Amino acid sequence: MDRERLIRYLSLLVIGVAAAVPFVSGTNLYLLNVLILMLIFIIFSSSWNLLAYSGQGSLGHAAFFGIGGYASTLIAIQSGLSPYITIFLGGAFAAGIGVLIGLTCVRLKEWFLAMVTFGFAIIVQAITVSFLASITGGWDGIASPRLVSSQVPGYILIEYYSILALTIGVILLIYLIFKSKIGMAFLAIRENEIEARVSGVDPVRYKLLAFAISAGLAGIAGALEIHYFGYITPEIYGIDISFWPIIYSILGGLGTIAGPVVGTVVLTVLWDGLKIFGLTYERYIIIGAILILSVIFLPKGLVSLPDKLAGWWKRRGNKKLRNQA
Amino acid sequence: MGELEIFLQILFWGLYAGCIYILLATGLNLIFGVMKIVNFAHGEFLMVGAYVTATVFALTGLNPYVIILFSMVVLVAIGAAVERFCFRPILGTGKLNEIFLSLGLIYLFQNLAALIWTDEWQSIQSPYASISIPIGPLNVPLDYIIIMVVTAIILTGLHLFLKRSRTGRAMRATSQNRKGAMLVGIDVERMDVFSFSIGCALAAAAGTLWVVSGQVFNPYMGSIPAVKAFAIIILGGLGSIPGAIIGGLIYGVAENGAAFLLGGIWKDAVSFIILIVVLVVRPTGLFGESGE
């Protein structure tokens, strides 16, 4: 298929550009910092998007982001393992919690689910700063080992390429899931749960699977961010951390693989671009307005823009022909 | 005596907090009933209402309980605009879209407010702040009693409007059966605007009552109360106003009890624990008939 090939080449081009950036910019710390956070949020948004793909819109994904971060940090501190291993353990722990949360959610739909997930982020934060304060450091947080020790020369480049590789891996994984029987099952459940059940898809099992994968990936993203920052506080469960992946995914294109990537890149560029102009609250106002406009006028996100423009161009051409005739 | 006193104090705090939740939840319920949408940004209307009242109070020095009316009128206008330009275009395009649109509105309103009024915590002093009335072993601030009376008056007024007036009945008809209402000649889009605006006015009243009680406020104050108000209407049953009142009171009391017993951080968490427990047992809510 022509289109498929085009997308494949485009992806390779994007990966090439991402890999080449440090060669062009040198070790520009500001740029690398922006790019690393962008990559982490691509993983995070993609994980949210995967859950939404199965028809479950979470409003509290920061819970998994934070659980992954805390679990990885605590495992790394207690066991002395390298963060390169503990990020996956943290992700696995988040996936386990995700299944537990999913168990309460499988019977719920749309905004009932949204409410419960929103609440979980708040409950998890409360547990972190009260019952678990002795190991999590309460509101003050705790230091977390860095992904690569800052004594290593060029450590930030190693971190950048590690995270880039992981991001590509995650997107590939999601691509494979979407293509597989599992992805079909997610789609079937999202479109019509009863029909899915009739055709032999067990909705509960697949919804829990979606929760596990999504929470696990979000946990890995959270762990990456924490090991990159070298510090974790309960602010990681903040409402805005839950909202960002949603905004990125919607703007990019809900339920597509490219959507969260495109949305994250475009908004990160916009966000940091506006910062240069010294805007603070205005940035949020602009983001809010963009979100509203895109829900109303571009409900399928930026990835649908080329098709939309092509359609508009074609209609325009037809009109011209008709006028000439 | 000491324990009883504490218990009564918590109960009273709960009743007062409950009033604000009831007003928010009733508004959300009304909007949900007629339009079948959920606006997660409803708390932002509470916040704007609070700031309108505080600003007018600072400028004119009028009694804040009078300014409540002005604040409600302002929010009716804002609500009508939001309904017309944001929610109407996406009506019937899916529940997730409503949630996303609300997120956009949250960012928009919070940061516009921060631009206009800064994001510092503020508070105002009610003219009755120093007066309190002894009831039993408690000294109850007069403001709390006025707040409860005002809430009762607003809810009674709403009840009468919905039961007696022609428009109110048309709104109820629309919420029962939208197509049927259209068939008998009710302009349902107009009912959408009315319900949304009234919902916003109730949120403005809640915001005003929040500031006159002397509580601090900032542009981000609305999000959590709105989500809780939503939890309350799930608990109390969608479309049921008595359910919202009972749910609001339960939440107000449970929260303040939890804050006292477990610490302030559990104040918000406990309301979601209640919600989750209720939804696990009954996915349609306590009094809900059919799931959405």
Q: Express each pLDDT in A31-78 by its tens digit.
A: 888 999 999 999 999 999 999 998 888 989 999 999 999 999 999 999
CB contact under 8 A, B105 and A288: yes
CB contact under 8 A, A116 and B292: no
What CATH number is associated with residue A245?
A: 1.10.3470
Distance from C-alpha of A231 to C-alpha of A28, rounded to nearest angstrom: 22
Range of the domain at A209: 2-324
Confidence at residue A322, expressed as pLDDT on a 0 to 100 scale: 76
Minimum CA–CA partner of B104 in chain A: A288
Confidence at residue B290, expressed as pLDDT on a 0 to 100 scale: 46
Cβ-Cβ contacts under 8 Å, B105 against chain A = 288, 292
Minimum CA–CA partner of A103 in chain B: B280
Chain B touched by A52 (CB under 8 Å): yes
H/E element holding B28? helix B2-35
Planar angle of CA A272, B86, A191, nearest 5 degrees: 90
Q: Which residues pair with A231 in a beta bridge?
A: A143
CB contact under 8 A, B272 and A104: no
Minimum CA–CA partner of B115 in chain A: A281
Planar angle of CA B16, B18, B19, nearest 5 degrees: 70
CB contact under 8 A, B107 and A254: no
As a whole number, the mean pLDDT across chain A is 89
A162-210 pLDDT, tens digit each: 999 999 999 999 999 999 999 999 999 888 888 888 888 888 999 999 9
List phi, psi (to 5°) of B146. -60, -40
A93-140 pLDDT, tens digit each: 999 999 999 988 887 877 788 888 999 999 999 999 988 888 888 889
A267-301 pLDDT, tens digit each: 999 988 888 887 788 888 998 999 999 899 888 88
Planar angle of CA A180, A183, A189, nearest 5 degrees: 145
Cβ-Cβ contacts under 8 Å, A112 against chain B = 234, 279, 283, 291-292
Please name the residues between 193 and 232 in chain B that touch chain A, using a CB distance below 8 Å. 223, 227, 230-231
Confidence at residue B291, expressed as pLDDT on a 0 to 100 scale: 39
CB contact under 8 A, B107 and A284: yes
Question: How far B113 CA lies from chain A's nearest CA (Å)?
Answer: 9
Total structural domains within chain A: 1
Task: Give the distance between the most distant pair of CA atoms in chain A.
Answer: 80
- With helix as H, strand as E and coil as C, how does chain A read? CHHHHHHHHHHHHHHHHHHHHHHHHCCCHHHHHHHHHHHHHHHHHHHHHHHHHCCCCCCCCHHHHHHHHHHHHHHHHHHCCCHHHHHHHHHHHHHHHHHHHHHHHCCCCHHHHHHHHHHHHHHHHHHHHCCCHHHHCHHHCEECCCCCCCCCCCHHHHHHHHHHHHHHHHHHHHHHHHHCHHHHHHHHHHHCHHHHHHCCCCHHHHHHHHHHHHHHHHHHHHHHHHHHHCEECHHHHCHHHHHHHHHHHHHHCCCCCHHHHHHHHHHHHHHHHHHHCCCCHHHHHHHHHHHHHHHHHCCCCHHHHHHHHHHHHHHHHHHHHHHHC
Planar angle of CA A33, A38, A41, nearest 5 degrees: 130
A137-172 pLDDT, tens digit each: 888 999 999 888 888 888 888 899 999 999 999 999
Distance from C-alpha of B49 to C-alpha of B207, rounded to nearest angstrom: 5
Chain B touched by A158 (CB under 8 Å): no
- B152: CB partners within 8 A, 6+ apart: none
Distance from C-alpha of B288 to C-alpha of B292, rounded to nearest angstrom: 10
What sign does the CA torsion over B256, B221, B266, B26 have? positive
Distance from C-alpha of B146 to C-alpha of A116, rounded to nearest angstrom: 34
Environment class of A267 (CB within 10 Å of its CB; exposed 0-12, middle 13-18, buried 19+): buried
CB contact under 8 A, B104 and A243: no
pLDDT tops 60 at residue A245: yes
The one-digit pLDDT tens for each residue of chain B (292 residues) are 577 788 888 888 888 888 998 999 999 989 988 988 888 899 999 999 999 999 999 999 888 899 999 999 999 999 999 999 999 998 878 777 888 899 999 999 999 999 999 888 988 888 888 888 887 777 788 888 899 999 999 999 999 999 999 999 999 999 889 999 999 999 999 999 999 999 999 999 999 999 988 889 999 998 888 888 888 888 877 767 788 888 888 888 888 888 888 877 888 888 888 888 888 887 766 665 543 3
Confidence at residue B292, expressed as pLDDT on a 0 to 100 scale: 38
Chain A touched by B105 (CB under 8 Å): yes
Closest partner residue to B107 (CB to CB) among A123, A250, A287 is A287
